[in-house]
Amino acid sequence: MVAESEGPEDRKPQSDEAHSAFSHPAGLDQPEAPEEDHPSSEFAVPRGLVPEPPPEPEGSAFAPPSTYSSRNSPPAFTPAHGIPVVRVTKGAPWQDRMRAMLRMPVGERPVPETAHRQDEAGPAVPRVLDLTLRIGELLLAGGEGAEDVEAAMFAISRSYGLDRCEPTVTFTLLSITYQPSLVDDPVTANRTVRRRGTDYNRLAAVYRLVHDISAEESEVTLEEAYRRLAEIRRNRHPFPGWALTLAGGLLAGAASVLVGGDLVVFLAAAVSAMLGDRLAWLAAGRGLPEFYQFVAAAMPPAAVGVALSLSPLEVRASAVITGGLFALIPGRALVAGVQDGLTGFYITAAARLLEVGYLVVGIVVGVLGVLYLGFALDAGLQPETAIHSVQRPVVQTLAAMTLSLCFAVMLQQERSTVWLVTLNGGVAWVVYGALADTAGVSPVAATAAAAGLVGIFGQMLARYRFASALPYVTAAIGPLLPGSATYFGLLSIARGDLNPGLASLSKAAALALAIAIGVNLGAETTRLFLRVPGVAGVPGEQQPGGRRAAKRTRGF
């Protein structure tokens, strides 16, 4: 056969990949590529250098370090038998136990060991929250600090099996939230405090109720707790109304003797204070706010002082006015406000201090109105001859103890605590006199030291009786209140000397803050050195009794 001749189309390559324009021609040797064209990494180790050995593989964060010895293991590592369960001791006061847990995160709080006050279907959550709020309302209305109210509310809810509770306390509003679990909706209840009253007898009864409910060996059901709470609300005051008026008069008379008054001054101050108390009760019966009640109560002592200055009698009229002011200065609210601020409850502290400011302004308005009238009548009121320091240690100590006794009666304390408070007030005055008069210490520093001692004794008595510290502290600081400095400031302002008046009022404010801070510091010092017993026996175990401190913000 004759082969067919190949055409031009048959000599074409089959595809474009059959021949490359960059391929080396056939018959020529392949040249070696230059050294820099060899594929390599710019991070390769140069020749002549030994590469570093590879790092050791990273171990587990939970693995013990190489220096760990199982024979001599330090307490920082988990022991072989595990970590013991954190339990709060039964013998510690419930106030300290609840404060300790309130400052813990929710996930670190120990779960109640037994829910011995529950029914089989579980705790009655709405009734437990309602009981908790009612008890918190009585405590807050009685003048208790916000931290102590939260501790009591947490103790009640926890005792009835509601461990995931968060109480919140402000000046007029109480709320509590219970979280059953991570998937269930929270239950929240709140209550508004509309009326406040001073009855430390009722406050002590509420503390006993909280102690009985939170005690592990007691079995207080919800019905029993409600019944006892109703009895506390209906209980009679330990002292009648006429006894309160008489105590107010004796208080003013003792305060006037404390600043140098004699028998005539004592009688005048007592009568004027009783008149002011009756006027305040009349204003309260007519529904006037507390501001106007303080205005009405401050006017009779100032009027009696002006009348005595206009009379031919040689009487220290300024001591009469100063004695009347002692019965009106709101020391209880001031101490509670500063305590709330120092413990981190700033909203409640601001509200309490604002209340103190309004009450002090009411006293200023009442006294200044009468003093302006006295100067219009040419009364001989001079600040340089008003009150001078009189060294009468025995008489002044007895007057200070009488003043504390009358304060305790006016606060409606239990009769068994009145004598302890009287003794505490006498000790506070002796310490103040020894520091200010004998040692020459500044009055502000001496007042703070005496108030700190009052706080220490009050907290120790409260721990001994498992009660509130307020009944043992509030009346005992009565002799330290800045009555004379307040009067000097008001008198100078009424005479037109604004700068000396403001300086004296600033001194009164400094003394008041020294009292409040000293009382709180004494209470915290007692908690610091009187250690609450925790889980004992094994070294290194966690002690849950102490309170956790607030984290330092470093100014941020």
User: Which of 39-53, 263-277, 411-425 shows the lowest per-residue confidence on average (mean pLDDT)?
Assistant: 39-53
pLDDT category of residue 299 using cuts at 50, 70 and 90? very high
Q: Percent of the chain, pLDDT > 90?
A: 16
DSSP 487-550: HHHHHHHHTT-HHHHHHHHHHHHHHHHHHHHHHHHHHHHHHHHSPPP-S-SSTT----SSPPPP
- Farthest-apart Cα atoms in the chain, separation: 166
Looking at every residue in the chain, the average pLDDT score rounds to 77
Using one digit for the tens of pLDDT, what is the confidence trace for 306-352? 888 888 877 777 888 888 888 888 877 888 888 888 888 888 889 98
Q: How far is CA 317 from CA 31, 274, 325, 389, in A?
A: 123, 17, 13, 15
Q: Has residue 167 got a pLDDT over 70?
A: yes
pLDDT of residue 275: 93
Answer for the pair 149, 142: CB distance below 8 angstroms, yes or no.
no
User: Which of 56-70, 95-109, 172-186, 518-532 shows the lowest per-residue confidence on average (mean pLDDT)?
Assistant: 56-70
Q: How far is CA 554 from CA 53, 550, 551, in A?
A: 45, 12, 9
Q: Residues near 383 by Cβ (< 8 Å), separated by ≥ 6?
A: 318, 488, 491, 492, 495, 500
Query: Which strands, in side-by-side order, build the sheet including 173-178?
Result: 165-169, 173-178, 187-192
DSSP 137-205: HHHHHTT--HHHHHHHHHHHHHHTT--SEEEEE-SSEEEEEE---SSSPPEEEEEE-------HHHHHH
Q: What is the mean pLDDT of residues 382-392?
A: 55
DSSP 409-466: HHTT--HHHHHHHHHHHHHHHHHHHIIIIIS---HHHHHHHHHHHHHHHHHHHHHHHT
pLDDT of residue 44: 63
Please give the structure tokens belonging to residue 454.
């009052």
Residue 490's closest CA among 323, 369, 347? 369
Angle (deg, nearest 10), helices 317-326 and 290-310 = 160
pLDDT category of residue 57 using cuts at 50, 70 and 90? low
- The better pLDDT of the pair 113, 298 is held by 298
> Apex CA 431: angle with CA 428 and CA 437, to 5°?
125
Q: Has residue 42 got a pLDDT over 50?
A: yes
Using one digit for the tens of pLDDT, what is the confidence trace for 191-238? 988 878 778 888 889 988 998 888 877 778 888 999 999 998 887 788
Tokens 């409040």 found at: 516
Per DSSP, 117 falls in state T
Q: What is the mean pLDDT of residues 133-144?
A: 89
Answer for the pair 381, 170: CB distance below 8 angstroms, yes or no.
no
Answer for the pair 470, 480: CB distance below 8 angstroms, yes or no.
no
**Distance between CA atoms of 63 and 33, rounded to whole angstroms?**
53
Please state whether the predicted TM-score (pTM) of the whole model is above 0.85.
no
pLDDT of residue 543: 43
pLDDT of residue 528: 73
3-state SS of 24-68?
CCCCCCCCCCCHHHCCCCCCCCCCCCCCCCCCCCCCCCCCCCCCC
Per DSSP, 554 falls in state T
